[in-house]
Amino acid sequence: MRTILPIADGKQVRRYAGQIARRNPRELRKAVALHVLAALAGLAAPRLIGDLVGKVSAGTTVSTVDKTILAIAVFLLAQTALTRYARFASATLGEKVLAELRENFVQQSLALPVGTVEKAGTGDLLTRTSRDVDQLGWSVRYAVPETIIALVTTFFTIVACLLVGVWVLVPLVLGVPALYVATRWYLKRAKDGYLRESASYAAINASVAETTEGARTVEALGLEQRRLDRIDADIAESYAAERYTLFLRTVWFPAVEIGYLIPTVVTLLFGGWLHTQGQASIADVTAATLYVQALIDPVDRLISWLDELQMGATSLARLLGVAYVPDDRSVSGRTPEHEHIDAADVRFAYVDDRDVLHGVDLHVAPGERVAMVGPSGAGKSTLGRLLAGIHPPRVGSVTVGDVGMTELPLDDLRGHVAL
């Protein structure tokens, strides 16, 4: 039975994010500052348009209209330029972090205990080095910068709405329940759903890789149909996992669409009523409606990219999890007294209660050569792994110089035995 490599929990992921922020304070401050300036520049146009509508309704000159339009154009150009540089700064920081994460992952993967890798199967590690790295790269390059822009823009747009008048808070609050309930429902289920999805890809990769590598053994033992059934079962599980995350999205997206369309309609109706009562000017109603309408775009982008962020966070947790693989050595501090290798009554099982080695005894003296002969699947490679200290025996002992193989640090062990 395959075991899966560890997955970092939320606390470990947040700790890593904090370390990134502390290691890159200058780049982070620059990116955030540019996003803030871009958001502020984008808030000028609705206010200017609202003022223009008020002036036109009260009577104004063509010169005033021209100056207002010119000012709007200047702010829009400034927003475009600042957004470009903000995205560039975010992408630069993201690529730096991604490169660092890839390097750490490779180093940690190479340091994994061989026995742990074999128990997990090649598919899990292969999926983390391919699909998870690609998914995280996509999130870092696109989802994270777009989400930062959306968050900053949403915050300052809400502030601008409140500066127009406290009454704008009423339509904004009416849209919150639908957004809150739908998003809370989605986030509660999304993490486990995407973890299951990633694990299903690992299972498919493992089944295909193991069948390919052991093709001769599969044919010799007539296991073709069993392996096909295994792959079909893994594909069915992957299909079910994909359907589940698709179901989450098909419920979540329509619900939040309703949530952020309600405020626009209510702002127009409620603001119009306040204007008829003399409690709000036409300029304020226009500006508030445009601000609330403008709020749809960043919220929509935030919602759209949140799905990608969930997948990116899942991939990050899987990549970071490699660092939390426990050591398979129980170092005793003893040193071998000689170079004799001894195996006594060795039994070993990859799966509980299914031994592949049954009471093997073997003594190998320095300089002695031993040939292991037997049919495919007889346990030759397994015995070799035990003699090299990759796996500990289930029963019995394997020693070098009267010291257990798993009692020696890996570097010391390889000075005595190597496979």
pLDDT at residue number 122:
66
Confidence of residue 4 (pLDDT cuts 50, 70, 90): low
Q: Look at the domain 10-324 and name its fold.
A: ABC transporter transmembrane region fold (1.20.1560)
| Per-residue model confidence as pLDDT tens digits over 241-252 | 999 999 998 998
Task: Lowest mean pLDDT of 48-57, 188-197, 275-284, name the range.
Answer: 48-57
Max intra-chain CA distance, the chain: 106
Question: What average pLDDT score do residues 384-389 get?
Answer: 82
Number of residues that this document lists for the chain: 419
pLDDT at residue number 232:
92
Question: What average pLDDT score do residues 334-351 get?
Answer: 84
Question: What average pLDDT score do residues 122-130 get?
Answer: 76
pLDDT at residue number 236:
93
Q: Is the pLDDT of residue 52 over 60?
A: yes
Provide the H-helix boundaries in 59-143: 62-110, 114-120, 122-127, 133-138
Question: What average pLDDT score do residues 257-280 get?
Answer: 83
**Nearest residue to 135 (alpha-carbon basis) of 88, 201, 184:** 201
What CATH class does 341-414 carry? alpha beta
> Using CA atoms, how far apart are residues 364 and 288, in angstroms rounded to an integer?
85
Confidence of residue 2 (pLDDT cuts 50, 70, 90): low
pLDDT at residue number 1:
47
> Which single residue is written with the structure tokens 């073997």?
362
| Per-residue model confidence as pLDDT tens digits over 152-180 | 888 888 888 888 888 888 888 888 888 88
* Residue 326 φ/ψ, nearest 5 degrees: -70, 150
pLDDT at residue number 240:
93
Q: Crossing angle, helix 44-58 and helix 25-42, to 10 degrees?
A: 10
pLDDT at residue number 175:
81
Confidence of residue 68 (pLDDT cuts 50, 70, 90): confident
Q: Tell me the percentage of the chain whose pLDDT exceeds 70.
A: 96
Q: Is the pLDDT of residue 93 over 90?
A: no
Q: Report domain extents, the chain.
A: 10-324, 341-414
pLDDT at residue number 315:
85
Q: Which residue has the higher pLDDT, 150 or 54?
A: 150
